[in-house]
């Protein structure tokens, strides 16, 4: 065992150069949503980095204890965005999760999901199609404004959640594939809708297509897209992540495009930042290919505002709309003004800011599944801010945030609709 720990320590020492930059000032405590709830030092970036350092220096004997702490993190990047010494916290945590997971092994349930399902998009999709047909048997509608459901009978996975049901018809059934030429705009983009848009919010994908068509942007939407890989990677499963990257890379390399767009903040950040970050162990030629796609990947709102320069401000009245900044858009990609500009350009929208619009909603992907109570406490604060803003609609740029916010609002019986900003922009066209 000691011999093994030595090996683990050696692997973690690869992160030493990045970890040593943490000067332990503790400023991450001000912004960490998990720490705000638990107030335990091991839950904030400084504490986690100290644990990893001590594990790397063989001062800690229980790697499992460190892994538990490492997993209690939304990977929202609030700490990194607020770090005075610019520590690349997400890089460290993602790589550490891979290292610790490689050492301790993947839990069987995750192994089954990632290796057996997620990496096989065709199988994954057909299974969910089947589930979409039967979901009504176990669930019932919860909120008509939000469109959420809750459990009909006691079901351990659903618990008390108010979740968005699987779409009757996923996006890939509505628009299986697309390859159009650019019109007046002169641009051609590839569209990566992402799993949640495809399976739960196909309307977001349709709105994105409508907007692109309206602005005469050529679209390449290949069939058979896989997950961006972040659920596997954040659980430390680099093999599944690598498979998904390669699968998508080969698919998108088939045609030419100027930008790869997604309406999902998490997918954008993953492809733009995490794909190259995790490609260090690949051959140079593959690294270059990954970089070529990553550097052209951006959020759809960013493309519309920064590249096409649409969205002239209109002093709108009517529906009160507020905006929640997804962490992966604002903190990872520094995109926060563009979605607001799109919302403000709709003449039927009265835009209002909520307090702490860039505070994490508490979803954090699988964090929500593993630590639902904590996720709910953090999400309730977001719900309170939305309600305090007296908004009719809360818009955001990430379908994962949409799921979490819908759950929180629906459980409180709030009549606030949850939409993607692209839907609201599309409505005005």
Q: Which stretch, 7-15, 80-88, 212-220, 335-343, contacts other proteins (CB under 8 A)?
A: 80-88
Closest to other proteins by CB, 67 vs 411, is 67
Asked if residues 52 and 92 have their Cβ atoms less than 8 Å apart, the reply is yes
Which range of residues in 84-92, 99-107, 158-166, 180-188 is near other proteins by CB under 8 A?
A: 84-92
User: How many beta carbons lie within 10 A of that of residue 219, not counting itself?
Assistant: 22
Query: Binding of other proteins at residue 284 (CB under 8 A)?
Result: no
Beta strands at 139-143 and 148-151: parallel, antiparallel or unpaired:
antiparallel
Is residue 10 near other proteins by the rule CB under 8 A?
no
Least Å distance, CB 396 to other proteins, is 26
388 belongs to the binding site for other proteins (CB under 8 A): no
Is residue 62 part of the contact set for other proteins (CB under 8 A)? yes
Lookup: tokens for 270: 């993953």
Q: Is 123 in the site for other proteins (CB under 8 A)?
A: no
Among 6, 7, 10, 23, binds other proteins (CB under 8 A): 23
Q: What contacts 171, CB < 8 A, 6 or more positions away?
A: 193, 197, 198, 199, 202, 205, 206
- Which of 66, 75, 293, 422 lies at the binding interface for other proteins (CB under 8 A)? 66
CA nearest to 241, candidates 200, 282, 182, 283: 282
Question: Strands across the sheet with 218-221, in order?
Answer: 178-179, 218-221, 188-191, 259-262, 297-299
Strand 139-143 and strand 178-179: the pairing is: unpaired
Nearest partner of 202 among 175, 227, 228, judged by Cα = 175
CB of 408 to other proteins, least distance (A): 24
> Could you give the strand order of the β-sheet that contains 349-351, starting from the edge strand earlier in sequence?
349-351, 319-324, 393-396, 417-420
Strands 297-299 and 319-324 come out as unpaired
Tell me how many residues contact other proteins (CB under 8 A).
31
Location of structure tokens 């943490």? 22
Q: Which of 40, 169, 173, 254 binds other proteins (CB under 8 A)?
A: 40
Cα(155)–Cα(359) distance, rounded to whole angstroms?
31
Among 5, 11, 13, 27, binds other proteins (CB under 8 A): 27
Q: Are 270 and 230 in contact (CB under 8 A)?
A: yes
Residue from 4, 6, 10, 65 in contact with other proteins (CB under 8 A):
65
Is residue 84 part of the contact set for other proteins (CB under 8 A)? yes
Residue 30 sits in the site that holds other proteins (CB under 8 A): yes
- Check residue 21 for interaction with other proteins (CB under 8 A): yes
Cβ proximity to other proteins: between 145 and 372 the closer is 372
Q: Which of 11, 13, 54, 58 binds other proteins (CB under 8 A)?
A: 54
Nearer to other proteins, 61 or 415 (CB): 61
Binding site for other proteins (CB under 8 A): 16-17, 20-21, 23-27, 29-30, 39-42, 47-48, 50-51, 54, 59-62, 65-66, 68-69, 84-86
């Amino acid at each position: 065992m000691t011999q093994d720990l030595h090996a683990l320590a050696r692997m973690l020492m690869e992160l030493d150069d990045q970890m040593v930059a943490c000067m332990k000032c503790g400023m991450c405590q001000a912004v960490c949503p998990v720490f705000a709830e638990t107030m335990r030092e091991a839950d904030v970036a400084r504490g986690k980095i100290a644990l990893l350092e001590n594990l790397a220096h063989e001062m800690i004997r229980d790697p499992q204890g460190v892994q538990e702490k490492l997993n209690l993190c939304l990977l929202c990047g609030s700490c990194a965005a607020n770090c005075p010494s610019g520590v690349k916290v997400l890089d460290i945590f993602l790589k550490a999760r891979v290292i610790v997971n490689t050492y301790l092994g993947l839990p069987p349930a995750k192994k089954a999901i990632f290796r057996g399902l997620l990496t096989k998009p065709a199988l994954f999709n057909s299974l969910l199609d089947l589930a979409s047909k039967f979901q009504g048997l176990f669930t019932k509608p919860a909120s008509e404004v939000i469109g959420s459901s809750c459990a009909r009978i006691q079901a351990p996975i659903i618990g008390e959640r108010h979740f968005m049901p699987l779409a009757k018809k996923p996006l890939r059934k509505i628009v299986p594939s697309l390859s159009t030429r650019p019109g007046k705009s002169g641009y051609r983009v590839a569209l990566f809708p992402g799993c949640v848009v495809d399976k739960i919010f196909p309307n977001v994908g349709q709105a994105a297509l409508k907007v692109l068509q309206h602005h005469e942007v050529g679209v390449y939407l290949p069939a058979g897209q896989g997950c961006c890989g972040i659920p596997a990677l954040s659980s430390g499963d680099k093999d599944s992540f690598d498979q998904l990257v390669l699968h998508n890379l080969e698919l998108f390399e088939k045609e030419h495009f100027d930008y790869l767009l997604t309406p999902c903040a998490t997918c954008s950040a993953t492809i733009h930042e995490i794909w190259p970050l995790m490609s260090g162990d690949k051959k140079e030629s593959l690294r270059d290919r990954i970089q070529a796609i990553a550097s052209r990947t951006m959020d759809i709102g960013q493309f519309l505002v920064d590249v096409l320069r649409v969205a002239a401000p209109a002093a709108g009245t009517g529906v009160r709309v507020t905006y929640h900044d997804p962490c992966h858009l604002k903190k990872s990609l520094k995109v926060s003004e563009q979605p607001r500009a799109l919302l403000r350009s709709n003449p039927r929208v009265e835009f209002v800011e909520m307090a702490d619009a860039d505070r994490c909603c508490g979803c954090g992907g699988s964090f929500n599944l593993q630590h639902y109570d904590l996720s709910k406490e953090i999400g309730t604060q977001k719900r309170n801010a939305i309600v305090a803003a007296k908004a009719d609609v809360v818009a955001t740029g990430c379908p994962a945030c949409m799921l979490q916010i819908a759950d929180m609002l629906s459980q409180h019986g709030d009549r606030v609709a949850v939409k993607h900003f692209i839907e609201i922009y599309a409505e005005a066209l």
